Amino acid sequence: MEFSKYLIVANGPFLSKSIILEAAENAFIIALDGAANKLCKLGIKPNIILGDFDSFQEEVDFFSDVKRLIMPDQNFTDLQKGLRFAKQYASEIHIVCATGGRMDHEQASIRSLQSEYSIHCPIYLHNEFQTMTFASNQTILIAGKHHDYCGLFGMPEAVMLVKNAGLEYGGEEPYVLSSSSFSVSNRLIGGEGAIVEITGDALIVNPPMLLAQRKLSESVG
């Protein structure tokens, strides 16, 4: 396939059309099951519809040329199925509409960042205001503007070492991230972002990566 960027649209509460459209730029779009019908209402056509098809409703005219990939295995969520399909072709994967709504679905989506992690194919989970990623034994850049919020969580444990003066909390000493010790509601300082060395496994809550996210966050204060 000719695309290196893939967008997975989950069947959770839908984000604004502007966020979905920006995430979809130059991307191969995978709609998970009933998310295809929600995309139809926005006039956005996916490249493929994937899942167990327990919530998809046929729209003959709109989906007449869209490929279906039926994956009924209930041992995996539709998001896991979509990620495993996309990882065969993608160099980066973006996920939208996978958080909010049912808490069990949201937790499964977040944990999929770890279960489907590959250093060769970063996965970005976007909500209205921020973007979550997963890191394992690597040095990362948390990019954003001065005083943007961010957070780091051990999965189950990691050690973070800030390599520059980029975070409001966390200096040159190693800091353990675990179920009882984590760096939540941290903030960027300066304009170059934070360079953080992660030893172990950690979830990273980044400032908004998409322009549409930033515009929305600034509009609500």
Q: Which amino acid is at 59?
A: E
> Does the fold of domain 132-219 match that of domain 5-127?
yes
- Asked: is 5-127 a CATH 3.40.50.10240 domain? The reply is yes
Task: Return the CATH fold of 132-219.
Answer: Rossmann fold (3.40.50)
Nearest alpha carbon to residue 197 among 216, 172, 218, 217: 172
Q: Give the model's pLDDT for residue 58.
A: 73
CB contact at 8 A, 212 and 22: yes
Cβ atoms within 10 Å of 58's Cβ, excluding its own: 11
The stretch 190-211 carries a mean pLDDT of 95
pLDDT exceeds cutoff 90 at 70: no
Tell me what percent of the residues of the chain surpass a pLDDT of 90.
Answer: 73
Q: Which two tokens stand for residue 159?
A: 């050690």
Nearest alpha carbon to residue 31 among 9, 55, 56, 14: 9
What is the C-alpha separation between 154 and 135, in angstroms, rounded?
10
Length of the chain: 221
Mean pLDDT of the chain: 92
Nearest alpha carbon to residue 183 among 220, 140, 213: 140
pTM of the prediction? 0.94
pLDDT exceeds cutoff 90 at 29: yes
Q: Give the model's pLDDT for residue 60.
A: 64
Better pLDDT: 111 or 55: 111
Q: Give the model's pLDDT for residue 1.
A: 52
What is the C-alpha separation between 112 and 104, in angstroms, rounded?
12
CB contact at 8 A, 206 and 133: yes
Instruction: Spell out the domain ranges in the chain.
Output: 5-127, 132-219
Q: Which two tokens stand for residue 126?
A: 């976007």
φ/ψ region of 153 (left if φ > 0, alpha if ψ in -120 to 50, else beta) reads: beta
Binned at pLDDT 50, 70 and 90, residue 75 comes out as: confident
The stretch 78-99 carries a mean pLDDT of 96
